[in-house]
Amino acid sequence: MIPDIFTPSYLKSLELLKFKSRRAYLGLREGGHASIKRGHGIEFADYRKYELGDDPRHIDWGVYARSDRLYLKRFREERDLSLLLMLDATNSMFVPAEDSKWEYARDIALTLAYIALSQQDMVLASVPGEKISASFRGGNSFYEICRYFTKRENQFVEETDFLKGIVYSANAIKFPGAAIFISDFLFPFEKLEKSLLALRAKNLDITLIQVLGKNDLDPFENSNSYKFVDAETGEKINLSSSNENINQY
């Protein structure tokens, strides 16, 4: 159930890594990420003037010595991060089979999930287009998230359902955090834009990871003319391997 790449030594090396979001968030509980709430955590944020009733332990006496004014240090509290992992399961991720795009994408998703689970972050796993998503927390959940993704191998999702499913996945995450979307992105980007706006509306830090196979990178390798078949729609077009077509691709 756990892919072969996840050996004990590989998992141990992942435990040395941490997610660091590019943005600050309001979190649910103490964890490992900076929050926009002000408190007395680890990361220094700024100063504010001392007011009657404030804890004098947080006065910066160095500033007082220089300015003869009382200021408090303010810090960013550390909070948990909710991680939304979305894995593309549309037809193009499975063809041609020898490129193993789905397997590579799955292993990337599981690697990121293990890092997040190791630092006690919540992971919401989703295959957009399916109504089933699942949340996980804690290192002991890794086997379960492996089973979640491996169960979805070769269960193709229609492109239309897939794009709607991204919005559905965004609505499933309850707390601001990060969204990582793994796909070959072999479809018009304007179709994806609306779905990405739904993720942004949830105050999510969005990362897109593109996984391509050898045949995606160089489909003009062995012949002068080709019949291309759209893996999502079944549409067929004939193309020659002219320099113009190669450059456009």
Q: Is the pLDDT of residue 222 over 50?
A: yes
Residues 6+ apart with CB under 8 A from 44: 73, 74, 75, 76
Q: Is the pTM of this model over 0.85?
A: no
Rounded distance, CA 211 to CA 160, Å?
A: 20
Q: What is the pLDDT of residues 182-196, one digit of tens each?
A: 999 988 788 788 888
Mean pLDDT over 53-82 rounds to 81
User: Which residue would you say has higher pLDDT here, 32 or 71?
Assistant: 71
Rounded distance, CA 91 to CA 185, Å?
A: 12
CATH of 8-17+81-216, one of 3.40.50.620, 3.40.50.410, 1.10.3720.10, 3.40.50.300: 3.40.50.410
Rounded distance, CA 100 to CA 235, Å?
A: 23
User: Which residue would you say has higher pLDDT here, 157 or 102?
Assistant: 102
> Please, which pLDDT band fits residue 70 given cuts at 50, 70 and 90?
very high
* Contact status, residue 83 vs residue 121, Cβ threshold 8 Å: yes
Q: Is the pLDDT of residue 9 over 50?
A: yes
Q: Is the pLDDT of residue 229 over 80?
A: no
Query: CA-CA distances (angstroms) from residue 214 to 35, 107, 211, 222?
Result: 42, 18, 10, 13
Residue ranges per structural domain of the chain: 8-17+81-216, 30-79, 218-248
Q: What is the pLDDT of residues 151-209, one digit of tens each?
A: 877 666 776 677 778 877 777 776 668 899 999 998 878 878 888 888 888 878 889 99
Mean of all residue pLDDT scores within the chain? 80
Which pLDDT belongs to residue 80?
A: 67
Which pLDDT belongs to residue 82?
A: 84
